Amino acid sequence: MNQSRLRTALSLTAIALCLALALAIPPARAMTNQQAKQLYAQAASGNNPAALQSLQAAANNGDANAQYELGFLYAQGQGVPRDYAQAVSWWRKAADQGNADAQTNLGFLYANGQGVPQDYAQALSWWRKAADQGNATAQFNLGFQYATGQGVPQDYAQAASWYQKAADQGNAFAQTNLGIMYVQGQGVQQDYAQAASWFRKAADQGNAGGQNGLGNMYEYGQGVPQDYAQALSWWRKAADQGNADGQTSLGAMYQLGQGVPQDYAVAYALYNLAAAAGETKAQANRDRISQQMSEADIESGQNLTRMMQSLGVTAAINAYANK
């Protein structure tokens, strides 16, 4: 064999050997969701460049879990400068592979116009993809869009349907909103017992809206026996979380002396606190009750408002009562 043919034969042999070796090497294993989350937590600290590099390498290799977590780092500005365009880029890559969490978050960015022009149609499209995979957050988002008519014609029946799907999976926000729909008879037949049931499920998870809603049901005896003590208990929980509706309702109880000793200073403080959060009903109540108060009582109410902002509603009222 001449040198030219020998060189060709060796080259072909080398190519065949390289192909055989390539086929023998297994492809890189996909990163598990837990592994990606661990790298995210390490990279988010900003003190672990190796974790960030590992996450980026896996994402560049097409790993959907890594792409999702890397997008989250950019969206939160943890371990990297906040960059919504980068978040969109990485979440889109993961979303295109069917990652429901990435589809849901990509929908958020389109709805808020972060990293992309605001586009409700795109938001709805991505949320529907995730919702069809059973993602409860996406199902809630679709329900909210149909309830408010953002990006779609307002449709309470569709809203209730999507809220139901999310609520059945334990989504507390969906449970609260479904409860509201049962109270108002929107998209479902009015049913106070169902409303109270859904509010309770949300309230038991610590959802302030659910706690406020359940307090309302106890105040009026709708779906549950009328019970001011129970109403107060749930409104306190909601108020302690900053729920302005709960603060306003609690203020009304102190103003009227229902279930608690009548105390205009406490009522004023609660109305004042809720008014600061933009609750117009509370502002009107505060201004009206102040006309029946002395300057000293108003000052006491203002001081109590500051205590509530510092200590929390319940702790501040207890401190005020025991002074």
Do residues 209 and 259 share a domain? no
Tell whether 127 is covered by a domain.
no
Do residues 234 and 319 share a domain? yes
Looking at residue 11, its pLDDT comes to 39
Do residues 231 and 323 share a domain? yes
Looking at residue 30, its pLDDT comes to 77
Looking at residue 12, its pLDDT comes to 32
Do residues 143 and 210 share a domain? yes
Looking at residue 29, its pLDDT comes to 61
Looking at residue 250, its pLDDT comes to 98
Examine the fold and report which residue of 226, 255, 275 is the final residue of a domain before the chain moves on.
226
For residue 194, give the CATH number of its domain.
1.25.40.10
The tens-digit pLDDT sequence of the chain (323 residues) is 444 433 333 333 333 333 333 333 333 467 898 999 999 999 998 889 999 999 999 999 999 999 999 999 999 999 999 999 999 999 999 999 999 999 999 999 999 999 999 999 999 999 999 999 999 999 999 999 999 999 999 999 999 999 999 999 999 999 999 999 999 999 999 999 999 999 999 999 999 999 999 999 999 999 999 999 999 999 999 999 999 999 999 999 999 999 999 999 999 999 999 999 999 999 999 999 999 999 999 999 999 999 999 999 999 999 999 87
Do residues 210 and 266 share a domain? no
Do residues 174 and 118 share a domain? no
Do residues 100 and 149 share a domain? no
Tell whether 24 is covered by a domain.
no
Do residues 269 and 283 share a domain? yes
Examine the fold and report which residue of 208, 226, 244 is the final residue of a domain before the chain moves on.
226
Do residues 219 and 232 share a domain? no
Do residues 298 and 210 share a domain? no
Residue 253 structural domain: 227-323
Tell whether 31 is covered by a domain.
no
Tell whether 193 is covered by a domain.
yes
Tell whether 141 is covered by a domain.
yes
Tell whether 87 is covered by a domain.
yes
Examine the fold and report which residue of 71, 99, 122 is the final residue of a domain before the chain moves on.
122
Tell whether 25 is covered by a domain.
no
The number of distinct structural domains making up the chain is 3
Looking at residue 24, its pLDDT comes to 34
Looking at residue 10, its pLDDT comes to 33
Tell whether 267 is covered by a domain.
yes
End-to-end CA distance of the chain, in Å?
A: 107
Do residues 240 and 272 share a domain? yes
Do residues 146 and 216 share a domain? yes
Looking at residue 115, its pLDDT comes to 97
Looking at residue 323, its pLDDT comes to 78
